[in-house]
Structures are given as structure tokens and as C-alpha cells.
């Protein structure tokens, strides 16, 4: 197995360089700010970007167009931003691939140290779902069934190396169970596999599975965040369900090329904090199925370092390596 060793990110991710001032240090930047989304239009991260972009534009007084640059599990968009001038005019919609991919890919098309976080604005629970006809009503029952049939049951995901794949592998790591991974072409196909009995269970982002859960087509056994979800308050967390140490959530924020001046970094970070704390924004994020939150650049860097370490351990245990 090949697992890329994780750089010591914390000092790098929180660092900014002192250099010549650029346009964005002023209240009215002279050029648009490109917000690169490393996924196709219509997904969760793209939707969050389209909530953030107009509010950034209003705060900074400059257009903030959204540019979708999908490919290679988020690596292509990250690579494009990493190569951009560190002037604050090209930003990345940051999400789990920044902390997962360094553990999975033998060679990345960018150096993780070439990007710095500006802040984290929200998180999204994953949810463990099964077929309502499976006879399973708890995580303990699922684990008992998996242990009774080692290597005979399978689980679905939206593809190799995704956060949903790694969510299931973390469950397998912490329970010491043997389950076969079946990657589907997208989360919708994976959920169809659960409903059709093709796979025994799946982790999915809560917003995309919620309608099927509420409609009785899927049964939610647990959510993956430390606290219960406000939209599924009756569903326990994985930790409450007996899986000690289990904590996973999708997240979103912004990152920039390393080398920003202190003034530019502070201006952008301040803008994001105002957006994150705005009540209208918080309501919009919650309506989209996410949980509004705010971590400043330093807190985001610390979170990313811990998240990366977790996924590195999971990748090593599961022997996952992608080219």
C-alpha cells in the first residue's frame, strides 16, 4: 500500500507571508475574486459556494464569480488554486478532499503546503442508513450481523476514496469488522443499492438522504457528528450507539494560495467571519441541510491537521491507495 506521508501542516496552513501590498488589501478590490469549486455544479459544496459568493461580493465590493473545476476527487481544482498568484483574487472552496486525499494518493498534482485556510463556515453530518426491511434497527444490531458473517456483507459508497467511503472504513476500523466495499457512480446510485438490497448499508451526507429517510424508504441508524442532528433528533450519534471515538462530518470553508500578505489574509478572514455569523446566512445554510459554524484560520488549520491524521490511519488500516 502507498500512503502519502502528511506534511506538518499546522505551521504552514496558518502562516502568511509579508510582502508588497496588493489590491484586495483595500476595501474596494480592483479585480473580481474567482471562487473555485472543485466539483460539478449542483452538489453540496457548490450550493454552499453560491451562498457565500454573493455575500463576499457585497462585503468586499467586487464580483465573486463561481468557477467549477471538477476532477480527480477535488484535486484538479485545488491544484489550479495552488498555482494562482497569492493576491487574494483566486480562492478555493475547501472541503474534505483537502484532508483525505493526501492520505490516499501516491502523488498529488499540488503540494498541500501551497494552500492556506481562511476559515470554516459549516459542517454536514453523514448518516448511516439501511433498508427498512433488513430487520436492523440499531448500530449494535448491524455490527453483530457483520461480525457473524465476516467478509460476506457489503456496503455502498459514492466512489473510491470519497468521504462516504472513508466514513464506512472508519466504522470498520473501530469495530474491527470485515465488510466488502461496493463503489457506485454517485451517492444516489448507492442509496438505490441499499433500497434494492444490493448492499447492506451506506453512509451518506444527511441532506441527500433525508427525504428517503423521512419517506420511509431508508432507515437511519446513526448520525456521524458528536451531537444529534436537529432534523433527525430521534436518531443517535455513532458514539451514542456504542462506536467510541467515531466522529465524521463533511465541512466547507475557503482556502487561498500560500503567500498572502497579512493584510489580505486578515481582510478575507474578516469577511468570512461576518458571513458565517450573519443570521440570514445561518438560516440559509441550515435550510440546505448543513450546520452553520465558524472556525477562524488558525482553528481551521488545527482541525484540518487532526482530520488528516485520522484519515491517514484509516487509509493505512484499509490499505487504500489511489493513483
Tell me the pLDDT tens digit for each residue of 210-263: 889 999 999 999 999 988 988 899 999 999 999 998 988 889 999 999 999 999
Considering the domain architecture, whether residues 158 and 303 belong to the same structural domain is answered as no
Q: What is the CATH number of the domain that holds 130?
A: 3.40.190.10
The answer to whether residue 210 is domain-embedded is yes
pLDDT of residue 15: 44
The pLDDT of residue 134 is above 80: yes
Q: How far apart are CA 103 and CA 5, in angstroms?
A: 7
pLDDT band at 321 (very low <50, low <70, confident <90, very high): confident
| pLDDT for res 12 | 42
What 3-state class would DSSP assign to 79? helix
pLDDT confidence of residue 4: 42
Answer whether 103's CB lies under 8 Å from 321's CB.
Answer: no
Rounded mean pLDDT, 8-33: 49
Instruction: Show which of 207, 223, 239 is a domain's final residue.
Output: 223
> What is the CATH number for 60?
3.40.190.150
Q: Is residue 4 part of a domain?
A: no
Same domain, 39 and 78: yes
Q: Which pLDDT score, from 0 to 100, does residue 8 have? A: 40
Domain count, the chain: 2
Mean pLDDT of 304-308: 93
Query: In the structure grid, which three cell numbers stand for residue 308, read together?
Result: 488528516
Residues 190 and 184: beta-carbon distance below 8 Å: yes
Same domain, 18 and 101: yes
How deeply is 174 buried, as exposed, middle or buried, from its count of CB atoms within 10 A (0-12, 13-18, 19+)? middle
Same-domain status, 120 and 141: no
Q: Is residue 43 part of a domain?
A: yes
Domain span including residue 173? 125-223
Q: Are residues 50 and 146 in the same domain?
A: no
Of the candidates 310, 173, 178, the residue with the CA atom closest to the CA atom of residue 249: 310
CA–CA separation, 6 vs 1, rounded Å? 15
Among 208, 223, 238, residue at a domain's last position: 223
Q: Copy the grid coordinates of residue 120.
A: 470554516
Comparing 230 with 7, which gets the higher pLDDT? 230
pLDDT at position 25 is 47
Mean pLDDT of 117-134: 95
As a whole number, mean pLDDT of residues 104-114 equals 92
pLDDT tens digits, 184-197: 888 889 999 999 99
**Co-location of 144 and 280 in the same domain:** no
Residue 236 lies in a domain: no
Q: Is residue 44 assigned to a domain?
A: yes
Q: Is the pLDDT of residue 18 over 70?
A: no
d(CA 196, CA 251): 29
Please report the pLDDT score of residue 320 as a whole number: 83
Is 307:260 a contact under the CB 8 Å cutoff?
Answer: no
Q: Report the pLDDT value the prediction gives residue 159, as an integer from 0 to 100.
A: 83
pLDDT at 123 over 80: yes
My answer on whether 116 and 129 are in the same domain is: no
Select the more confidently predicted residue: 28 or 208: 208
Same domain, 164 and 178: yes
pLDDT of residue 73: 84
Report residue 263 CA to chain centroid gap: 28
Residue 7 has pLDDT above 50, yes or no: no
pLDDT at 30 (0 to 100):
66
The C-alpha cell at 147 is: 461480525
Q: Please report, rounded to a whole number, the percentage of residues in the chain having pLDDT higher than 90.
A: 66
The three cell numbers of residue 235 are 436518531
> Per the domain annotation, does 48 fall within a domain?
yes
In a domain, 28, yes or no: yes
Residues 263/251, Cβ–Cβ less than 8 Å: no
18 with 108, same domain? yes
The mean of the pLDDT values for the chain is 88
Same domain, 84 and 141: no
Q: How far apart are CA 202 and CA 83, in angstroms?
A: 36
Long-range pairs, 132-141, Cβ under 8 A, ≥24: 132/216, 132/217, 132/218, 132/219, 133/197, 134/200, 134/219, 136/201, 136/219, 136/221, 137/219, 137/221, 138/221, 138/241, 139/221, 139/222, 139/236, 139/238, 139/241, 139/242, 139/243, 140/241, 140/242
**Which segment of 30-34, 215-219, 253-257, 281-285 scores lowest on mean pLDDT?**
30-34
Q: Are residues 79 and 155 in the same domain?
A: no
Whether residue 188 sits in one domain with residue 49: no
How does 162-171 read in b/e, with b if 16+ C-beta sit within 10 Å? bbbbbbbbbb
The grid coordinates listed for 31 are 479585480
Residue 275 has pLDDT above 90, yes or no: yes
The reported pTM is 0.80
pLDDT at 28 (0 to 100): 46
Q: Does pLDDT of 20 surpass 90?
A: no
Asked if the structure places residue 111 within a domain, the reply is: yes
Amino acid at each position: 500500500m502507498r500512503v502519502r506521508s502528511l506534511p506538518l501542516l499546522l505551521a504552514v496552513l496558518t502562516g502568511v507571508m509579508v510582502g508588497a501590498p496588493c489590491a484586495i488589501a483595500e476595501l474596494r478590490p480592483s479585480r473580481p475574486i474567482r471562487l473555485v469549486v472543485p466539483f460539478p455544479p449542483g452538489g453540496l459544496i457548490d450550493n454552499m459556494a453560491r451562498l457565500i459568493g454573493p455575500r463576499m461580493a457585497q462585503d468586499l465590493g467586487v464580483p465573486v464569480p463561481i468557477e467549477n473545476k471538477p476532477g480527480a476527487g477535488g484535486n484538479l481544482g485545488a491544484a489550479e488554486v495552488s498555482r494562482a498568484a497569492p493576491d487574494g483574487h483566486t480562492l478555493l472552496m475547501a472541503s474534505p478532499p483537502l484532508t483525505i486525499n493526501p492520505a490516499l494518493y501516491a502523488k498529488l498534482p499540488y503540494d498541500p503546503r501551497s494552500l492556506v485556510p481562511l476559515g470554516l463556515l459549516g459542517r454536514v453530518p453523514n448518516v448511516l442508513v439501511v433498508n427498512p426491511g433488513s430487520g436492523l434497527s440499531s448500530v449494535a444490531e448491524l455490527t453483530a450481523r457483520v461480525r457473524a458473517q465476516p467478509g460476506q456483507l457489503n456496503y455502498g459508497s459514492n466512489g473510491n476514496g470519497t468521504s462516504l467511503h472513508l466514513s464506512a472504513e472508519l466504522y470498520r476500523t473501530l469495530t474491527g469488522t470485515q465488510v466488502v466495499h461496493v463503489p457506485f457512480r454517485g451517492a444516489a446510485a448507492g442509496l438505490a443499492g441499499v433500497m434494492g438490497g444490493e448492499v447492506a448499508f451506506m453512509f451518506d451526507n444527511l441532506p441527500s438522504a433525508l427525504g428517503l429517510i423521512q419517506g420511509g424508504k431508508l432507515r437511519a441508524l446513526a448520525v456521524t457528528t458528536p451531537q444529534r442532528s436537529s432534523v433527525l433528533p430521534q436518531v443517535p450519534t455513532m458514539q451514542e450507539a456504542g462506536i467510541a471515538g467515531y466522529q465524521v462530518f463533511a465541512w466547507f470553508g475557503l482556502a487561498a494560495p500560500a503567500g498572502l500578505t497579512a493584510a489580505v489574509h486578515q481582510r478575507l478572514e474578516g469577511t468570512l467571519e461576518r458571513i458565517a455569523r450573519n443570521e440570514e446566512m445561518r438560516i440559509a445554510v441550515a435550510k440546505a441541510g448543513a450546520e452553520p459554524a465558524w472556525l477562524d484560520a488558525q482553528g481551521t488549520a488545527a482541525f484540518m491537521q487532526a482530520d488528516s491524521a485520522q484519515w491517514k490511519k484509516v487509509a493505512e488500516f484499509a490499505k487504500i491507495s489511489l493513483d
